[in-house]
Amino acid sequence: MKIKIPILLSFIAVLIAGCSESRQKPVLEYVVSNPADTGSRFPDLYHDPSGELYMSWVRNVEENIFMSQYSIYRDGRWSAAETIHIGSDYHVSPSHSISVTGNRGEPSAAHRYRASDSDTEEFLTEFRFRDQDRGRWEETFGLPDAGDLPSHQLFVRSGLLADGSLLVVWLEAPLIETEPDDGPAEERREVGDKVLLQTALFSADGDLLMNNQIDEEVCGHCSIDLTGTGNEMSVVYRGGVDGEVRIARFNESTLDWGTPEVVQSASSGSLARLQAETHSTSGAGIDMNGRYTAVVWDTPGEESDNCRNVYLTYAVSGEAGFRTPIAIAGTDLCSLGRPDALVADSGEMAVSWLRQSGEQAAVMLSFVSGDGTVQQTVQVGITSASQSSGTPRIARAGESVMIAWTQTAPTYRVRTARVPLENR
């Protein structure tokens, strides 16, 4: 026994260490108490016009049952999770999650994706407005159709204008009927080549005020992003034919979008690889604060690997154009891309991205000075390198950066971390 007990204890110690390495943990220095429970995934962060920070996510509670939930960050902690809706008709993926918008710490609108009630195989968007007097989510409406064909609605982003109206942008991907490859069978539907960037504006009561097209040649598997406060709103996206990173700005006086501006063109090599991809990619991210507008995107690396390059550019109001792109991460670090951007009050910028490490991925955060110098990169957590982990999101939280991502093992769960902008 004197020999066996030490051997047994050593075996247990090795086993525990091995299990710890397989778990996807945040870096304890930055971890924040979590409002999201087991089964939660694909978080979204939203700054309302008053500066309050909301986090929303979708949670799988049983095999085919999901719920939409949210929390608000106050006094250094997340509030208890609140449930918006629960149902068995959810469609959930990295490109089909949920979001919440509001003002002064009061949530006002939320959206989710659901399967169509018909046999068209559509994925549709459902918005709910919150009755502030009764404290209940009641009003339900969908986004207007862009055409006569059934379609998928992808990457929906929304934000509140100063008057309380809700501005929404999304990708509309028409479905076409195709013959199956494996002999006679029922026809199936696939996304067509022409994907549209659409927009709509709803009053605080849910009435449709505007419904237009922003661009008709858009990358259908590249995510879009919307940012702004008050009446200054901008959307960033990728072109479908040329792979350009483009930005369009909303004009509140005309209730329409200006002519899209090219932020960055794609090289012939990266364009070919981008067009060959079939899974959802992070496309581009954007943030605005004060005089600064920051845009991030990723591009595929060489065909022989899955690594991607992450770039940041920024513009300063009163100065001409966007700066020369800054390389944040490249194939030498085996970046997986999926970036998001933040602009601090000081003009300092932060970029989140993923770095591959075997089957896992490190959740990374890079800090860039107002003159475009990459100052520091820190690791804040671990997740899966697969598409199932989605895209981390970042937002301002006082004098810190809040980052939220999806842990996939040992179970799905949203994780958050807070990294100070100073004295890191």
Q: pLDDT (tens digit, 9 = 90+) per residue, 67-112?
A: 999 999 998 999 999 999 999 999 998 888 899 999 999 999 999 9
Q: Mean pLDDT over residues 51-75, rounded?
A: 95
pLDDT tens, residue by residue, 123-137: 789 999 998 888 899
- The pairing of beta strand 53-62 with beta strand 284-289: unpaired
Q: Give the C-alpha separation, 307 to 330, whole Å.
A: 7
Residue 3 burial class via C-beta count within 10 angstroms: exposed 0-12, middle 13-18, buried 19 and up: exposed
Indicate whether 58 pLDDT > 70.
Answer: yes
Q: Mean pLDDT over residues 56-70, rounded?
A: 96
Q: Which residue has the higher pLDDT, 307 or 283?
A: 307
Q: Mean pLDDT over residues 245-273, rounded?
A: 83
Task: Give the confidence band of 179 by pLDDT, cuts at 50, 70, 90.
Answer: low
Least confident of 2-11, 168-177, 232-241, 321-330: 2-11
Q: 422 φ, ψ to 5°? A: -120, 160
Q: Given this structure, which CATH class describes domain 44-281?
A: mainly beta
E strand spans, 22-165: 40-47, 53-62, 65-74, 77-78, 82-87, 99-103, 106-115, 123-131, 136-142, 151-160
Contact status, residue 161 vs residue 230, Cβ threshold 8 Å: yes
Can you give the residue ranges of every domain in the chain?
44-281, 298-424
Q: Give the C-alpha separation, 11 to 389, whole Å.
A: 32
pLDDT tens, residue by residue, 350-370: 999 999 988 899 999 999 999
Task: Indicate the pTM of the whole model.
Answer: 0.88
DSSP-assigned letter for residue 322: P
Indicate whether 29 pLDDT > 70.
Answer: yes
* C-alpha Rg value of the chain to the nearest Å: 22
Q: What is 352-365 written as a DSSP string?
A: EEEEEETTEEEEEE
pLDDT tens, residue by residue, 378-390: 999 999 999 899 9
